[in-house]
Amino acid sequence: MFVVESLGLAIALCIATMMGWGSWANTQKLAGKEDWPFELYYWDYAIGVFLTGIVFALTLGSFGSAGMSAMTNLGQAEGGPIMDALLSGALFNLANILLVVAIDAAGMSLAFPVGVGLALVIGTVRSYIQTPQGDPTLLTSGVVLIVVAMVMSALAYSKLPPVAGRRLGRGLLFAVIAGCLMGSFYPMLVRSISPDFRSAAIESGFLTPYTALLYFGIGLLLSNFVINTVFMKAGGKTYSGYFGGSARLHSLGVLGGLIWMVALGLNVIASGVAGPAISYALGQGATLVAAVWGVLIWREFKSAPRSATPFIVLMFLGYTSGLTLIGIATL
């Protein structure tokens, strides 16, 4: 299997993760502009995640001299690690659907900074406790600044005038719930992977990063038959409506899932060098990327009064400073 050997490449992959995790939701925004409900969009997203997991296992997971191939690993994996990876996918699925609901209700500039920012804090702390790598003082300082940025984002949104169709209270609530759940999926996924997979033999019963991604995708797709069906019924959506969608609308969802899953794969690979806590925290810099998309491209603050500007500026400064400190913590 392919492994990362240098810290420089690991940091570059984390930055790629940040760009992917912060940009995939643009496909949902585009689909929403064509009145394609998020519940129907999400089926294609789940399929995109699942297919990308298969591609990872058959390509990077099957070539190279390190560790063991995906097929070999699948034959020796034990129930505990497999269940961790499957449950990780299911847990993320629930959290991400709630995040999509928040985006649909209040926009990317609120949902991502609050939801994903909260996930960053929880996931980073849990991952560091599980695998302590990096300077704890710098890592803590970076996380604190991310929390400050989250608060600034919420305050900026509170300045927006009421608009028909925008439900800020609902969006904020779902973003907070999504963040609490999302902060737990990554440590669970990492727990299923053989410790020190980069430089040591794969421990008996554990997964490689690539088979863990495969099971993650399976867990996400299978759980979608329960979780998203509930949301579909609540929203009055039907499967006939899904199959009546155009090829363009379906492709947007698949593309969104592909972008997100590629980013997760790069992040997990990088964690072998940077450490899970720092790798995850840098990847969740997606909050900054999503905020840029929301503010500059989707113009979600175009109707905001001048009093919102200081909070927007402080939000960007908080995220930028926090991510910088987290990056330095690896050195």
Q: How far is CA 119 from CA 80, 126, 175, 177, in A?
A: 24, 10, 10, 10
Tens-place pLDDT, residues 239-255: 999 999 999 999 999 99
- CB burial of 107-143 (b: ≥16 within 10 Å; e: otherwise) equals bbbbbbbbbbbbbbbbbbbbbbeebebbbeebbbbbb
Asked if 44 and 28 count as a contact pair (C-beta separation under 8 A), the reply is: no
Tens-place pLDDT, residues 279-306: 888 887 777 787 788 888 787 778 888 8
Q: How far is CA 189 from CA 127, 182, 209, 213, 329, in A?
A: 10, 12, 9, 8, 23
Global pTM value = 0.86
- Kindly state the average pLDDT of the residues 22-29: 89
Lowest mean pLDDT among 62-76, 83-97, 98-112: 98-112
Tens-place pLDDT, residues 145-176: 988 888 888 788 778 776 645 677 788 888 89
Q: How far is CA 309 from CA 33, 184, 261, 269, in A?
A: 27, 33, 34, 38
User: Rounded to 5 degrees, what are φ and ψ at 18?
Assistant: -55, -45
Q: Give CA–CA dist 232/213, Å, rounded.
A: 27
Residue 91 makes CB contacts below 8 A (sequence gap 6+) with: 181, 184, 185, 188
Q: Give CA–CA dist 181/178, Å, rounded.
A: 5
